[in-house]
Structure 1
Amino acid sequence: MKILLIDGTIIGSKTGAILDQVKVYIEQLNSELDLEIMKLADFQHQFVDGRPLGEYNDDMRLLVRKFEEADGYVLATPIFQGSIPGVLKNAFDLLHPRTMRYKPVSIVANGGTFQHHLVIENQLKPILNYFRCLVTPNYVYTTSSHFGEGNVIIDEDVHDRLRELARVFVQYAEMSTHLSKVTIDKH
């Protein structure tokens, strides 16, 4: 199974640090999963405006292809101004509604205040529900206080929650293999 670990921002490094740790925990549970970290910062983005996919640049088409080829996702996002980054929403806007259908998704996020975890519930989960993803019931939200020098996660409770997230994600990934996959019409 191909699992895409998505760093959903173009600036900062905390979400990447969380993804790196989740990757380690997933590998410990199931070394047969093919894990790839994809950083949105590595792509030349264009605003999604409804035109056919073929009219976007190579990076935007590659972004879609990576989403389509993946069998599951771990999504990492910072919370900016009480919302997900525009670049992440822009990426979602480019995807066909069936791209992520019946595929497992786990969420990790980082924000400046404890209250911003509600962005996951009120913005991100509805988007993923629209795609009909298998969203794991647990997510991990962190703040700057959970990190030490070099953006190393220093909070043991966060590590415990990331281990549990990885465990549940692996179970969802295994469960998803028994669901019929929907053929996606090319844009």
Structure 2
Amino acid sequence: MKILLVDGTIIGTKTGVILEQVKDYIEKLNMNYTLEIVSLANYEHQFVDGRPFENYNDDMKLLVSKFEQADGYIIATPIFQGSIPGVLKNTFDFLPPKTMRYKPVSIVANGGTYQHHLVIENQLKPILDYFRCLVTPNYVYTHSSHFDENNVIVEEDVHERLRELARVFVQYVEMSKTLCKEPIDTH
């Protein structure tokens, strides 16, 4: 099973730190998954504007390919101005609707205020629902105070929540192996 851990921003390091920790916790569960961290900062992005797919650059096409080939996702996003970054939304806008269908997704986010966790509920979850993802019920929201000056996670409660997120995500991945991804004709 191929799992993409998506760092949904082009600036900052906290979401990458969180993804590395989640990756470590999934690996400790001894699952035989291929885990790949995809940092949107490493791609040349173009605005999704309705042009034919073949007219986008190779980086945009590569991102779609990585999403299509994955069996599950951990989406990490900072919260900027009470919203997800435009680059993450643009990436979602470029994906064909069936790309993430019935594939497990867990969410981790970081923000500067404690109230911004609602962005996950009000913006990110509806996008993932549109894709018909299997969104795990336990996301992890971190605050700047959960990190030290070197962006190391110092809050033990955050580690506990990330371990639990990894455990539940793995159960969703295992469940999804037997889930039919296409409609079954019942006529």
Which TM class, normalised by the smaller chain length? Answer: over 0.9
RMSD: 1.0
Q: Which residue does 2:59 correspond to in 1?
A: 59
Query: Aligned AA for 2:106?
Result: S
Alpha carbons 1:98, 1:182 under 8 Å: kept:
no
Residue 108 of structure 2 corresponds to residue 108 of structure 1? yes
Q: Which residue does 2:12 correspond to in 1?
A: 12
Give, in whole Å, the separation in 1 of the partners of 2:70 and 2:30: 16
Q: 1:150: Cα distance to partner?
A: 1.5
Alpha carbons 1:74, 1:106 under 8 Å: kept:
yes
Give, in whole Å, the separation in 2 of the partners of 1:139 and 1:52: 35
Q: Which residue does 1:82 correspond to in 2?
A: 82
Q: 1:41: Cα distance to partner?
A: 0.1
Q: 1:182: Cα distance to partner?
A: 4.0
| Greater alpha carbon shift after TM alignment, 127-136 vs 45-54 | 45-54
Alignment deviations for residues 84-139 of structure 1 (CA, whole Å, 9 cap, x no partner) = 00000000000001000000000000000000000000000000000000000000
Residue 178 of structure 2 corresponds to residue 178 of structure 1? yes
Q: 1:180: Cα distance to partner?
A: 1.5
Q: Secondary structure of the residue that 2:28 maps to in structure 1? A: helix
Give, in whole Å, the separation in 2 of the partners of 1:112 and 1:53: 36
Q: 1:181: Cα distance to partner?
A: 2.8
Q: Secondary structure of the residue that 2:36 maps to in structure 1? A: strand
Q: Which residue does 2:165 correspond to in 1?
A: 165
Matched residue count: 183
Q: 1:30: Cα distance to partner?
A: 3.1
Q: Secondary structure of the residue that 1:150 maps to in structure 2? A: coil
Give, in whole Å, the separation in 2 of the partners of 1:181 and 1:69: 14
Query: Aligned AA for 2:162?
Result: L
Q: Which residue does 1:42 correspond to in 2?
A: 42
Q: Secondary structure of the residue that 1:181 maps to in structure 2? A: coil
Give, in whole Å, the separation in 2 of the partners of 1:30 and 1:180: 25
**TM-score after normalising by structure 1:** 0.96
Q: Which residue does 2:27 correspond to in 1?
A: 27
Give, in whole Å, the separation in 2 of the partners of 1:125 and 1:104: 13
Alpha carbons 1:30, 1:170 under 8 Å: kept:
no
Q: 1:2: Cα distance to partner?
A: 0.1
Q: 1:31: Cα distance to partner?
A: 3.4
Query: Aligned AA for 1:77?
Result: T
Give, in whole Å, the separation in 1 of the partners of 2:150 and 2:175: 36
Residue 91 of structure 2 corresponds to residue 91 of structure 1? yes
Alignment deviations for residues 4-49 of structure 1 (CA, whole Å, 9 cap, x no partner) = 0000000000000000000000001133011000000000000001
Q: Secondary structure of the residue that 1:170 maps to in structure 2? A: helix
Structure 1 segments of 4+ aligned residues over 4 angstroms from their partners: none
